Amino acid sequence: MKMAAQIQELRKDYVLGAETVRALRGVTLDVPEGDYVAIMGPSGSGKSTLLNLLGCLDRPTSGRFFLGGDDVARMNDDQLSEVRASRIGFVFQSYNLIPQLTVLENIAVPLYYRGRLSAEDQRRCVELAELVGLSDRLRHRPMELSGGQQQRAAIARSLANNPFFMLADEPTGNLDSVTTGEILELLAQLNESGKTIIMVTHEEEVAGRAQRIVRLNDGLVVSDKRK
């Protein structure tokens, strides 16, 4: 079974004055390709720290993190930036779309890191917009979209670079219940098509849509259950 991500004995300490906060205390987790994992835990459990490490936004104090066979825990800042741009798709609670760009241009943002967009890249972005139900909104800007439409655009953007996995941080946190259901259904459909999804959420109902729920407490995995 191929792994989208593997972490081994991951630890993260923060030094605050004379105090050392041990945010993660030896987390080991395998995420096979095609998995749909929800990460849960109370405030201070370490889930935000784990998300930052999985997204290559921070480095662990110790431990290993393999992405496509490469140990990203040992990479420098430039290498981590390249990994973020080419191997991970991000979906944020606040969408993080660029206001001045159209839906199609926002979806294409990860591809700009590779240089000028090819005709094939442009076709791919149109196909992704269609995939998330925004084919009639390609020329609209974020302020002209509903919250659900903005999140759909963000999901399409996260897929543009064909990432190893989608990393979703409270993806329904700013949405009403009806729109939340629509976004969760879209994520389920993407997973059924083979996309790997790692989602951080504090909502049991949202986590219940995943195949697997990993619970953290005090920087440790206390439960890892698959449906």
Torsion of CA 109, 114, 119, 124, to 10 degrees: -50
pLDDT in tens, 28-70: 999 999 999 999 999 889 999 999 999 999 999 999 999 988 9
> 166 - beta bridge partners?
89, 197
Contact 99, 153 (CB under 8 A): no
Please give the average per-residue pLDDT across 191-216, as a whole number: 95
pLDDT digit string, tens, across residues 70-123: 999 888 889 988 899 889 999 999 999 999 999 999 999 999 877 778 899 999
* The predicted structure's pLDDT at residue 213: 98
Q: Are 115 and 164 spatial neighbours (Cβ–Cβ below 8 Å)?
A: no
- Predicted TM-score of the model (pTM): 0.94
- Residue 129: pLDDT over 90: yes
pLDDT exceeds cutoff 90 at 6: yes
Residues 94-105: tens digit of each pLDDT: 999 999 999 999
Amino acid 40: pLDDT: 96
Give yes or no for residue 217 having a pLDDT over 80.
yes
CATH number of this structure's domain 3-226, picked from the four choices 1.10.275.10, 3.40.50.300, 3.40.50.12780, 3.40.109.10: 3.40.50.300
pLDDT by residue (tens digit) across 143-183? 999 999 999 999 999 999 999 999 999 999 999 999 999 99
pLDDT for res 128 = 96
Query: 221 near 27, Cβ under 8 Å?
Result: yes
DSSP state of 168: E
- Nearest by Cα to 137 from 148, 158, 168: 148
User: What value does the mean pLDDT take over residues 14-21?
Assistant: 91
Rounded to the nearest integer, the mean pLDDT of the chain is 93
> What is the per-residue pLDDT for 96?
94
Give the per-residue pLDDT at 68: 80
Note the pLDDT of residue 86: 87
Residue pair 166/89 in contact (Cβ under 8 Å)? The answer is yes
Residue spans of beta strands (DSSP E) within the chain: 3-16, 19-32, 36-40, 62-67, 70-71, 88-91, 165-169, 197-200, 212-217, 220-226
Q: Which residues of 149-166 are buried (b: 16+ CB within 10 A; e: fewer)?
A: bbbbbbbbbbbbbebbbb
